[in-house]
Structure 1
C-alpha cells in the first residue's frame, strides 16, 4: 500500500507467543456450518497467511460456539496451535450487554478455557466484547492483567472502545489489539481519533466487517437478495430505504475493481489494510478466503478516488439497530 500506516506484524509490548500478527486475519465461521467444512475454511486461511483468528464465546450457543469449533480444529491440527494468534471476545450477553466487572470477566475466561483448554490452544488475547458503561475501564483491565499474570490468557484486548478509553486502558496494562469495525462503509475510526490513538500507542487494529457484512462483495443489490431470515435485515443499512442509497457507493467502488481486474471485496479489504489495520473478514467458503487474502496495490490516486466516493455517496443507516447501538462505547 502506498498510503496510511503499514499494518503491524508483531504484538509490540506484549510477548504472547512466537507468532506475530500477519497482514490478514479471519473471523472464525459461526453461521450454521458443518465442522469439516468450517475447518477447511480455517486451514485455507492459515495457508494463505491469515494467522490472526478472532472468535467469541457468544458466537453461537453455550453448547456450540466458536470455541467448540476451535477445539475441534486444533485437536485435528495440533501443529497449527503455535502458528495462530487467537483473539477471543467474551464478558458479554447478547440481551443483557457487557459485564466488565472483575467477577464477570473472570467467569467468562474460565468458561472459555473449559471449552478450549490451554493444552489444546491458548487464548492469546481476551477482550470484553464491549466496554461496560457501569464499570471503570481501569477496573476491567486490571482484572484482565491479573489473568495474564496467572497464565490464563496471553494478552489484553479491547473491542469497540473509543480513543479516550483506549488511552486509559493502555495506562493500566499494554493493550495487545483493539478490534473495531472499519470499512469503506464505516470509516469512522479514521475520523474520531481511534485509529490515530492506536497508531500513536503502537496498538494493532483488528478491523472486523471489512466488506461491511457483504455489501462490498457486490452480491447485494436489493432486499430480495436477502432471505427472510437473514440476520442483516435487523441492521439499518440493509433496510430498503437505505439499501438503494448504499448500492450507489458499492457501484462506484466496483468501477475501480473492474478497472483493476480484481474483485470488489479485494479492493475493500485492501483499502482497510492501507489504513494500517489488520482486516479480519469472515467467510464460510474456502475459495472466498483465498480471494480475500490476495491484497491488491492501491495507488495514491486510487486511494484519493475512494476518498472522493465516500464524500459523494453518504452511507444510509447506522451500523446497528437501537438495541445493539446502546452497547457501543461512543
Structure 2
C-alpha cells in the first residue's frame, strides 16, 4: 500500500470537492454516508480545499461536522487540503503571509477535530518563488501545524526545485484516460525521480468517463463543467467516442466504464518508471463510492485494447477554460 507522511493509505483515495462546491450541494446526511462508506472501503486519503465552497461552508466545515459526529475516524484519515488563494478571491498568493493565513484558517475551522496532514497551494504562484512557499510550509511543520507539504498543478521544474528545499509528500495533478499530459511533460518523471506519490484528481474525467453524461444538457445549471472546453456542444459528440469505446470494453469485462478508467490509472502506478499513483475519485452518492472502490483487474490484452482506444481517440478542447489555462502545470519565478 502507498505511504504518505509516514502513514499507509489505500490505493484509491477520496476527493471531497463535490460535497461542497456545486450549485446544490448534497445534504450533510448524504455527504456523511458517502464519506463513511469511502473510509470503510479503504479510501483513507481524503483531499479537500479551503475554497471548495463559500467561506462559511467549504470542505473544512464539512470535515469539522463529520469528525464531531465520528471522532473515532479522525486518526484513520490522512487529510490533504488545498489553499493558498487570496481570501474571497480565486487569485494566487504563495507568499509567506498568505500561506500562513491559509494554514491558520484551515486549523481554525477544523477546530482541533482533525489534524492538517498535508497542505498544498492550489496552484503555483508565478510571482512568488516556490522555494519561499515551501519554506513557509516547512516552518509550519516545525511549529506542529502541518505534517507534510503537497504541490498541485505544477511543472516538473517546480517539483525539482521544491524537493531541494523540503521533502514533498504528494504532487496533485489531473490524470485520466482523458488527460494523459503528465506522461509526456516530465511531471510523472520528476515525481518518480524524487519518490513522490502522484495524486490523480478527476480520474473519471470530471464524470465524463462514467458514461453517465450523454449530452451537455445532462449538466445542471451552474455546473462549472458547462464552461469546460471539452464539454461544449460543438465537440461533445467527438469526445464521447472515447467513452463509447470504453463502454464496449466494460461490457465485455462485466464492469462499468468508470471502473475501467480508475483501474487504468492504478495500473500505471509504479510501472515503467512511473511514481506511485493514488486516484482520488469524488462521489457524493454512496452507490457511486461503492462503484469507484471496486478493483477491476486489467489484463495485458485489456491494456493493449485501451492503448488502441487512446491512439484512435482525439480529445478536443483544453482541460480548463482559456482564462485558467496559464496557471496549469505552473512554474514560479526564480528565487
Please state which band the TM-score falls in when normalised by the shorter chain. Answer: over 0.9
Q: Which runs of 5+ in 2 are unaligned?
A: 270-276, 331-335
Match of 1:100? 94
Relative to structure 1, the CA distance from residue 175 to residue 268 in structure 2 (aligned partners, 3 Å threshold; closer, same or farther) is same
Q: Distance in 2 between matches of 1:254 and 1:95?
A: 40
SS of structure 1 residue aligned to 2:13? strand
CA drift at 1:329: 3.0
CA drift at 1:188: 0.7
Match of 2:274? none
Asked if residue 27 in structure 1 is aligned to residue 15 in structure 2, the reply is yes
- 8 Å CA contact 1:266, 1:296 repeated in 2: yes
CA drift at 1:266: 0.4
Match of 2:210? 217
- Alignment root-mean-square deviation, CA: 1.3
After TM superposition, the runs of 4+ consecutive aligned structure 1 residues lying more than 3 A away are 93-96
SS of structure 1 residue aligned to 2:169? strand
The correspondence for 1:193, drawn from 186, 189, 192, is 186
Q: Deviations over 1:165-223 (max 9, x none)?
A: 10110110000001100000001111111112212211111100000111111011222
Match of 2:324? 324
Asked if residue 306 in structure 1 is aligned to residue 296 in structure 2, the reply is no
- 8 Å CA contact 1:98, 1:327 repeated in 2: no
- 8 Å CA contact 1:211, 1:265 repeated in 2: yes
CA drift at 1:95: 4.6
Asked if residue 58 in structure 1 is aligned to residue 51 in structure 2, the reply is yes
Q: Deviations over 1:61-117 (max 9, x none)?
A: 111101000000111111111111000000125854211001110010011111002
Q: Distance in 2 between matches of 1:290 and 1:55?
A: 20
Q: Which runs of 5+ in 1 are unaligned?
A: 1-7
Match of 2:119? 126
Match of 2:69? 76
CA drift at 1:229: 2.8
CA drift at 1:256: 0.8
Q: Distance in 1 between matches of 2:329 and 2:242?
A: 27
Match of 2:333? none
Q: Distance in 1 between matches of 2:35 and 2:315?
A: 32
Asked if residue 149 in structure 1 is aligned to residue 142 in structure 2, the reply is yes
Deviates more, 1:270-279 or 1:224-233: 224-233
Match of 1:246? 239
Match of 1:284? 284
Q: Distance in 2 between matches of 1:295 and 1:90?
A: 31
Q: Deviations over 1:30-67 (max 9, x none)?
A: 23121111011000000010010000000001111010
Q: Distance in 1 between matches of 2:312 and 2:232?
A: 21
Q: Distance in 1 between matches of 2:295 and 2:320?
A: 28
Count of residue correspondences: 317
CA drift at 1:328: 1.6
Q: Distance in 2 between matches of 1:123 and 1:321?
A: 31
TM-score (norm 1): 0.93
Match of 2:293? 293
TM-score (norm 2): 0.92
Q: Distance in 1 between matches of 2:304 and 2:143?
A: 47
Q: Distance in 1 between matches of 2:75 and 2:221?
A: 41
Q: Distance in 2 between matches of 1:302 and 1:199?
A: 25
- 8 Å CA contact 1:97, 1:327 repeated in 2: no
